[in-house]
Amino acid sequence: MNAAALPIQTHWVCFALEAQRFALPLDSVVRIVRASEITPLPRAPGIVAGAIDVAGAILPVFDLRRHLRLAPRALALDDLFLIARTSRRQLALVIDSALGVIDASDAPPAAPASSPELARLKGVLSLPDGLVLIEDLESFLSPAEEESLDSALRDAEHAHVR
Pairing of strands 130-135, 20-25: parallel
* Of 80 and 111, more confident: 80
How much is the pLDDT for 68?
Answer: 81
Q: Which domains does the chain have, with CATH numbers?
A: 11-161 (2.40.50.180)
pLDDT of residue 104: 80
Burial status of residue 129 (CB atoms within 10 A of its CB: 0-12, 13-18, 19 or more): exposed
Q: Which H helix or E strand runs over 149?
A: helix 143-161
- Three-state secondary-structure class, residue 1: coil
Question: What pLDDT shows up at residue 4?
Answer: 44
Range ranked top by mean pLDDT from 65-74, 86-95, 110-119: 86-95
Instruction: Report the alpha-carbon distance of residue 49 to residue 52 in Å, rounded.
Output: 10
